[in-house]
Amino acid sequence: MVKNLGSESFFSISFELVLTEASLPYDLYINSSTHETREKFVKIFAAGNTLSESDLADFKTKYFQLYVLETQRDLYLKSLVKNENASDTQKAEVIKDSAIVYLDRIFDEDKEFTNEVLEETIEGCRESVESMVEVIKGYDISEVQGLIANLSFHDFYTYDHSINVSMYSISIFQALKPNASKAELVIAGMGGLLHDLGKVKISTKIINNPGKLSEEDFSVIKKHPEYGHELMESHCESCSGEGEVDFEIIKRVILEHHENYNGTGYPYGLKGDDIHVFARITAIADFYDAITTKRSYHEVLSTEDAIQVMSRSVGRKIDPKLFEIFTQNVSNVLMKGKVNQELPDEFDPCQPHNVLPLRKPQAKVQRDDFLKKDEDNFGKVKVSQGRKKKPA
C-alpha cells in the first residue's frame, strides 16, 4: 500500500521482512496520526544503523505498521533478496507488488502520460526485474509455475499476466543459455514485463473483456505492439541501446511478440529468425501463462495438457527449437497430455478468456529433436541482434 504525504510517498512493509542484524539500507517510518486524512509520518530508525531482532520485536509491540520511502523502494528490494529469513514466495510477492505499483503509474487512465512517468516506470520495472532475477535464478519452468501459483492475483489481468510472462521469460532464456549474464536475464524479464505496454492506449473495457471480442475490438487490440514501440521511441529518452540493458531489444520484444514463426502474425508478418529471439521466448511465455495460470474467470489446463496443446502450434505460432528447450525444462513432464485439442492461431494470450477457445486439431503435431540437429548454431545466442528491416 502506497501513502502520500505532500511530495513524498511511502509504502508499507511487513515486520517479518525487515532486515535485522545487519546495516539497514533504508529508513523506517510509522504513521503517527490516528486520522487517515491527516497522516504524519515519523522516522523511527535511520538507514546505516543495525536493527537487532529485539529492536524489531519492540517495534512490533508499539506500532501497527512500518513504512519506507518510495524513493528507497529499490534499496528495500535489494535487501529483501538477501534476507535469508524470507522465503522465495514472500520475496516474489513483494517484488510483484512493487512491479504493479510501477505498471499502475502508466495504466492509470486518470493520470497524464508523460515522458517522466514512462521513464520512472521503466526504471522501477528494471529494479523489480533485477530483484526477481536474483530470486528465481536457477528455477526451471515447473518451479516458476509453482511460485506463481502461490502469489495473489489482481483484478487487472494485464498486471498479473505481464509479471508472470516476465518470470517465465527469465527461466526460458536461462534454459536456452545456462551461462547467461544477469544483464541478459534482466533484458529477458523486462521484455516480458513490458510486452503489453501499448495497451495503455487501449480502453480497459476492451483489455479486460474476457468474452469473445468483436472484429472491431480485436483490430484495436492488434495495434498494441506498434503503440508500445512508438511509446518507447517517442517518450523514453533514456531507453537507448547503450548500457547493460539494451532497450533496443526490449523495443523489439514489444513490437514483435505477436509475430508468428510461420509469418502469419502481426503487425508485420515477420517469420522465423527475423523475429528477435527474445520476442520468440516472450511468445512462448505469453502462451503458457495464459493457459496454465488459474484465474477467476476460466479453468486452466494441466502442465501436460498445456504442452500438448502448445505442441500443435509448433512451427506455426511457436519456434520449434525454443519449444524443444522449453519442454525439456519442465520437470518430470512427459508428452502424454490427454487433451487432443488445439488453440487457433488467432488466440491472443494477452487477453483474459471466459473459456479457452479449444477446438479439434487441424494441424499435426510437429515433433523432432531440434536441439541435436541445430545445437551448434542455436546454442550460441547473440543478445544484441541488429534490428530487422520492417517489411514494406
The predicted pLDDT at position 204 comes to 84
Measure the CA–CA gap between 132 and 192, rounded to whole angstroms: 12
pLDDT digits (tens, 9 = 90+) for 322-336: 999 999 888 655 445
Q: ω into residue 357 within 30 of 0, thus cis?
A: no
Close Cβ partners of 270 (under 8 Å, ≥ 6 residues apart): 256, 259, 263, 388, 391
Residue 344 pLDDT > 90: no
- What does the pLDDT read at residue 352? 64
Unique residue bearing C-alpha cell 505492439: 225
Q: Output the pLDDT for position 111.
A: 74
User: How sure is the predictor about 373, in pLDDT bands with cuts at 50, 70 and 90?
Assistant: very low
pLDDT (mean) for 346-356 = 66
Supply the pLDDT for residue 127: 95
Span 200-215, average pLDDT: 86
Under the banding of pLDDT at 50, 70 and 90, the label for residue 355 is low
pLDDT beyond 50 at 217: yes
Task: Give residue 152's pLDDT.
Answer: 87
Over residues 30-36, the mean pLDDT reads 78
Q: Is the dihedral of CA 111, 113, 115, 118 positive or negative?
A: positive
Single pTM value for the model? 0.84
Over 60: is that where the pLDDT of 88 sits?
Answer: yes
Confidence at 1, pLDDT banded by 50, 70, 90? low
Q: What are phi and psi of 10, to 5 degrees?
A: -130, 150
Question: Does the structure show a pLDDT above 50 at 36?
Answer: yes
The mean-pLDDT minimum among 29-43, 135-149, 378-392 falls in 378-392
Angle at 167 between CA 384 and CA 241, to 5 degrees: 25
pLDDT > 90: percent of the chain: 60
How large is the average pLDDT for residues 168-175?
97
CA nearest to 220, candidates 236, 234, 209: 209
Per-residue pLDDT at 381:
44
Segment holding 210, helix H or strand E: none
The length of the chain is 392
Which structural domains are found in the chain, ordered by start? 1-86 (no CATH), 88-378 (1.10.3210.10)
pLDDT at 205: 87
Rounded mean pLDDT, 49-60: 96
Is residue 357 exposed (0-12), middle (13-18) or buried (19+ Cβ within 10 Å)?
Answer: middle
- Residue with cell string 520492417: 390
pLDDT cut 70: percent of the chain above it: 80
* Over residues 79-91, mean pLDDT: 94
pLDDT at 25 over 90: yes
Residue with the larger pLDDT of the pair 75 and 35: 75
Q: What pLDDT, on a 0 to 100 scale, did the predictor assign at position 388? A: 45
Side chain identity at residue 97, one-letter code: D
| pLDDT reported for residue 380 | 42
pLDDT at 370 over 50: no
